Chain A
C-alpha cells in the first residue's frame, strides 16, 4: 500500500500514524481489560516480554511475563480472566513519544515508545504510578494491518508495587 505514495515523507507520516493508532487501540484494550482483543494484536510467532531496566541493562533474559508465541500470550489472557485472583482495579495505559527507528529487509518495522501505567484500586482513593517504561517493538505489516512480532516492555521503576495483574 505504502508503495503507491511516492513521497517518502508522506509514507513515513502515514506509517507513524498507523503505529500511533495501533498503540492507542492496544492501550484501550488493556484499559478495558479486553484481554482477548489484546491477544489478537500479536503475530502468531510473537515474542512478548515485561522486564525491568535492571535486567535489560545487564543483558539478563528473565521476564516478569515471558511469552514465546501467541499461544503463550493467549494462555496469559486465559489464566488472568478465568483463574487469577486479584483485587478489582482500573488501569490507564498512556503511550507516547513514538519513534519509528527503521525497517528490516523483510518489511518488519522497528519502533519504540514510552509508556506509563496508572492504577486505581476500586476501594482506594488515589491513582498510583504503577509502571513507567519503554516498549521496544517490531511490527509486521499484514493484509489485516499491523501485528506485533515483538514487544519488549522495559520498565524503569526498580520495584513493582505488589503485583502486576494486567499486562503492560
Chain B
C-alpha cells in the first residue's frame, strides 16, 4: 500500500511531501497514532463538572462523548450507536441521565452500557432480536481514560502506560507548571478549520526559528527576540516538545535588527497593558507552548492560557478546537486581562492568524510539485532533541524519528 513512499537518503534532514499529502499515510496515522498507543486530549474536567454533564469531542477524527457519571467517574465512548452507526449525540454539551439514539431509541448508560432495545422481544410473538442477543455485548465502544490536574485524556489502547510516564519528566514538569493545581475556569472556545496537514501544527511549535521572523508583534515588543533566554525542549521519544522563552525588557541589539526584517523601531501600542505579564507560575518561562503527541497543544502565552485540540479530517485539513481558560480564583481584573491578552492567539490572534496562514501556504506549496521535499537542516550540532538555541529544527527531526518508527515508513 505504501509502495513508492520512500524516505530520502539524506535521512531526517529531509521530509518528503507525501508525509503531508498521501491518503494512505493519513489512514495509517489514524490507525497507528490516534487509535494507537497514545493518550489523546478530550476535555477539561471543568467542562463536565456535574454528574450527567457531557461534552462532545474527538480522538483523531473519531467523534466521542465525554461524560461524568453519578459516582464522579469520567467515561469516554464513541459517538456511534451500536445498532446502525448513528452519531447519536447532537448537542455540543449538555446534561443527561442516559444517552438515547434518536433513530430507534436504543438507550445507553453514561458509561456506554446498552440498557434497552425497544421491541427487543418483537410484538405479539413476532419479530424482535434473536433470543441469544445479549445487551452486555453491544454497548458503545469505550475508551481508556486518564486525568491529570483537571485534563482528561483517552486512548484506544487498553494497556497504556500512565500519563506521567507517557509524557516523561521534562514535559510533565512543564505541564504541571501550567496546570498547577488551581481549579480551572473555562472562558470559551475558538474553533477553526486549517487547510494543512495536522503535523504541520506540531512542527510550527517545534520550530522556534519562525517565531522571530514571522511574528512581528513578538519581536517588536520584546516578547521574543533572537537572543532571548529560551529552550526548545523535547522528550526522550521526540514526540512531545515544549517551546519555552522568557520575556525580555532588553531592546533588540542592532546587529540582530538587520537579520529580523520584522523589526520596526519605534512601534508602540495605544494600550500596551494587554502585553503585561503577571508572573503567576512557578517557572522560569513567561511563555511555554507544549506539543503533546498526538493532538494537544498547551498554550501558556504569559497570562493567556489555552488548550488546542487537533482533529484531523484528512491529509490536507484539520479542525482546531481551542478551550481558553483561567482559574476559579481569578478576580474580575485578572479574567479581563486574560481576555484582552487573548488577542494574541486564536484564528484572529495577532500571532495566531499568521500561523494559520503560513501553514496553509505550506500545504498549498505541496499540491502540484511531484517528489517535493522539505529542508530541515538547522542546528546540525543537535541531531534531534532538546536545544537551547531558537535557530534550530532539531525538535522537528526528533518528531519524525518517532513518527517513522511508529508508521514503519
Interface residues in chain A, defined as those with a beta carbon under 8 Å from any beta carbon in chain B: 50-52, 54-55, 58, 60-72, 74-76, 78-79, 82-87, 158-165
Contact = CB atoms under 8 A, between A and B. Distances in A.
Contacts of A64: 190, 346-348
Contact of B264 (A50, A55, A70, A82): A82
Nearest to B325: A62
B347 to A, nearest CB: 4
A129 to B, nearest CB: 13
A71 B272 CA distance: 9
Interface stretch (B114-122, B172-180, B212-220): B212-220
B343 A162 contact: no
Contacts of A78: 269-270
Interface residues of B, number: 43
B209 to A, nearest CB: 15
Nearest to B191: A159
A75 B271 CA distance: 7
A159 B189 contact: no
B353 A164 contact: yes
Given A62-B188, A163-B348, A86 B340 contact: no
Given A66-B342, A84-B216, A163-B192, 16 more contacts: A52-B189, A55-B188, A60-B188, A62-B324, A64-B346, A65-B343, A66-B339, A70-B270, A71-B271, A74-B270, A75-B271, A75-B274, A83-B217, A85-B214, A162-B360, A164-B347
B98 interface: no
B267 interface: yes
Chain B CB within 10 Å — which of A67, A68, A72, A85 has the most?
A85
Contacts of A86: 353-354, 357
B58 interface: no
Contacts of A161: 192-193
Contact of A61 (B187, B192, B354): B187
Contacts of B343: 65-67, 72, 76
A36 B216 CA distance: 20
A55 B339 contact: no
Given A72-B274, A85-B214, A164 B348 contact: yes
B354 A162 contact: no
Residue of A62, A63, A69 with highest tally of chain B CB at under 10 A: A62
Contact of A62 (B187, B220, B270, B354): B187
